[in-house]
Structure 1
Amino acid sequence: MKLITVNSNKSTTIGGVEGLIRFIQSLDIDYKMIELFFSIGTKEVYQENKNIDYIDYSIKNHSGLLSKLGLKINQIRKIKSCSAGDGAVIILFHPNDLLYMPVSILKSSKIILVQTNRFDIFFKPFSKIIMALVKKYINYVTVYTKKDKAVLTEMYPDLGKKIKVIPRGCRIQSCETVRTCSKKLVTVARIDEDQKDFTAMLDIFSRLPKGYSLDIYGGGSAEEIASLQEKVGKVPGVQFKGEVSDDLPKVLQQYSVFLMTSRYEGFGQTLIEARSQGLPIVVFDNFDALSFIVENGFNGFAIQNNDRHEFSRKILELCENEHIYMNMTRNALSKAQETNLDLVNSLWKEIL
């Protein structure tokens, strides 16, 4: 049996979807694993898995419309060439990719569509047209939370029992000890200003009194990193640390509070990693899965979108009140059990 993933970026790069693909590839299942991709993003960080066939369907030496057309034609060819239709399991991370699956393959394969963003981002108008045409071929749609399942059921009632709630699993082991209250703040994110809104984060930090520090970890394009470094250089107390080392738990355990100012997210993988190390979280409340990860006032604070004053006020409330802080760090570790890898493993194996 073959298991085929189709995604824009190779799974050896940084990203939530890329991490999920690596997780699926690591499952203890008897499948031949094939990965289709057309980009390595900015940089390969992880080693290739020797048990995976990596197939690059990118088009070289073309640009514009010709390149896009050639890319999609090549995607169809590669799907056919790896005999995807012979009872294979095909996992897609964007509804538009359904359009580039030959009908013969859609009919003879198990098709799994994975939610990778808030539904208003995930289902653009063109994606909705595609869903109307080919959703009957989908065997399962995985969503982050019960709330997402309710939203998707309302959008597509006929998907019914095909919708399965499978949260992202935390890829690092939970810490056994609570954090200590300090003024050391941290974020880990792909460096992408349009989505992550580091401008807001720096403005929020600038409202805090002296004595606070903020370290920003992440990778991205050279242009994005250069832009961020220029902004960081103007705000005392903030440092850009680059990509996280392999020992993420050790890095996170140096800090007390995790920040996220994204304009939108799908699930927020870094948030469950932060809470696994006992870090309370302060985040803008602008994606459905957040309520599953951060229970407002319990293991962090979910702030009304772009209310920067309230965001900075809640950081102060956490870091200046040890009683509040210690309750939240304990609660963070308690909630971390909801994304235990063994639980998520079993949910994936049920549908594969």
Structure 2
Amino acid sequence: MKIVYCILGTFNSGGMERVLANKSNYLAQLGHEITIITTDQNNRKPYFPLNHTIRQIDLGINYTENNNTGLIKKLFDYPKKQKRHKKLLTDQLNKIKPDITVSLFDHDVDLLPNINDGSKKIVEIHFSRFKRLQYGRKGLWRLIDKFRSGRDLATVKRYSKFVVLTHEDKDYWGELDNIVVIPNSNSFPIFEPSLLENKIVIAVGRYDYQKRFEDLIEIWKDIQKFAPNWKLNIFGKGPDKNKLQFLIQDLGLSETVSLKDPVQDIENQYLNSSIIAMTSRYEGLPMALLEGQSAGLPLISYACKCGPKDIIDEGFNGFLIDEGDKEKFAEKLLELIEDDHLRKEMGKNSFNHSKNFSEEVIMQKWIDLFNETLSKKI
């Protein structure tokens, strides 16, 4: 098959970029012809390595150059960028002549159904139905987010297939006849789980509003009182780094909480840890929990929309905590820290449960979906 993926860029270290790299590499190794079309790559290298047979094309639209501009300029510039984007994307698809074109719900999502290049169009979403409303923006931006959230439903109906990550999220979209659930797979194979003996809790994600690491840092203030020898390592980058660093200092946690840059060998960091924690406001299907699970770590997370409830079996491989309940989160995290038997039992359950998300299992679902989509008449 000829398969094209459309995304803003592959230069970020985020979960979506990792998932795309893993899927593309897997399909390329099977002999499929894979092309990744980006809009904002700007000659930057992919953060995650790609198979040498994968072709990369950047259209140079540069949507992100307007990130820090005002609303009026964005409203004026965006239609012009969309018009140029559609023309250049149409030209490329007509040259490539793919069998399947996949949108990762980026700036191309409204354009692809109107491009008649002969390929079947599939859209996959890496966040939940209500993500736009969970940004927490106020005023006019809040109204815009509500409008765009409503338009999302009309958009996905125009695709041959619409892929969501969780059964929880599927229910939020209502009765759609083209909707399919395919979770992300494990990012990497781990054959021997963590021994869960190092006194380290790990968290992974972007330093921003979504991940709500300020809650985790405040929770750690209580943890440190009872487990002063344990450390919290948070791996990521993002706009809230300075704010989080100031919070760590203000709470007197500089000796036990560290903000660390993303690393290529994150699997070794999981294996060097004993618990993974997540305090997000919203998710799609959190890669950090999947990765921590594959390393055999017990999981503790806010029960946010969406994803944690599809990964964590309460009391079996971890704990689900009501959103914002920092006291309960601290209580259960401390229970995992202090009870070696419980921590290791949950860790063993995590490792075994991770097999349900193996790359072979998940990628076969994608291949079946592609074949099914192509077998139907246009």
Report the counterpart of residue 341 of structure 2 in structure 1: 323
Please list, as runs of the form range in 1=range in 2, the aligned pairs for 1:52-131 lying within 5 A after superposition.
52-59=55-62, 64-65=73-74, 66-84=76-94, 86=97, 88-94=99-105, 97-101=108-112, 103-105=114-116, 108-121=118-131, 124-129=146-151, 131=153
Distance 1:351 1:307, change over 3 A: same
Aligned residues: 340
Q: Greater CA deviation, 300-309 or 15-24?
A: 15-24
Report the counterpart of residue 233 of structure 1 in structure 2: 249
Tell whether the 8 Å contact from 1:278 to 1:329 is kept in structure 2 after alignment.
Answer: yes
Determine what percentage of the aligned residue pairs are the same residue. Answer: 23
Report the counterpart of residue 5 of structure 2 in structure 1: 5
1:229 maps to a residue whose letter is Q
2:150 maps to a residue whose letter is K
Instruction: Using the TM superposition, give the Cα deviation of residue 7 of structure 1 relative to its aligned residue in structure 2, in angstroms.
Output: 2.0
Report the counterpart of residue 272 of structure 1 in structure 2: 290
Distance 1:253 1:109, change over 3 A: same
User: Structure 2: how far apart are the matches of 1:186 and 1:81?
Assistant: 45
Instruction: Using the TM superposition, give the Cα deviation of residue 88 of structure 1 relative to its aligned residue in structure 2, in angstroms.
Output: 3.6
The CA deviation string for residues 125-167 of structure 1, in whole angstroms up to 9 with x for no partner, is 33433643x5553111112233333333xx2x2x32x222211
Please list, as runs of the form range in 1=range in 2, the aligned pairs for 1:180-195 lying within 5 A after superposition.
180-192=196-208, 194-195=209-210
SS at match of 1:195: coil
Report the counterpart of residue 218 of structure 2 in structure 1: 203
The CA deviation string for residues 104-143 of structure 1, in whole angstroms up to 9 with x for no partner, is 428x3211111211111269533433643x5553111112
Q: Is structure 2 residue 158 aligned with structure 1 residue 137?
A: yes
Distance 1:169 1:33, change over 3 A: same
User: Structure 2: how far apart are the matches of 1:335 and 1:343?
Assistant: 13
TM-score by length of 1: 0.87
Tell whether the 8 Å contact from 1:268 to 1:290 is kept in structure 2 after alignment.
Answer: yes
User: Structure 1: how far apart are the matches of 2:20 and 2:247?
Assistant: 33
RMSD after superposition: 2.7
Gaps of 5+ in 2: 134-145, 371-378
Distance 1:305 1:2, change over 3 A: same
Report the counterpart of residue 36 of structure 2 in structure 1: 34
User: Structure 1: how far apart are the matches of 2:43 and 2:287?
Assistant: 19
The CA deviation string for residues 151-203 of structure 1, in whole angstroms up to 9 with x for no partner, is 33xx2x2x32x2222110111113424523453211111222x1111211110
TM-score by length of 2: 0.81
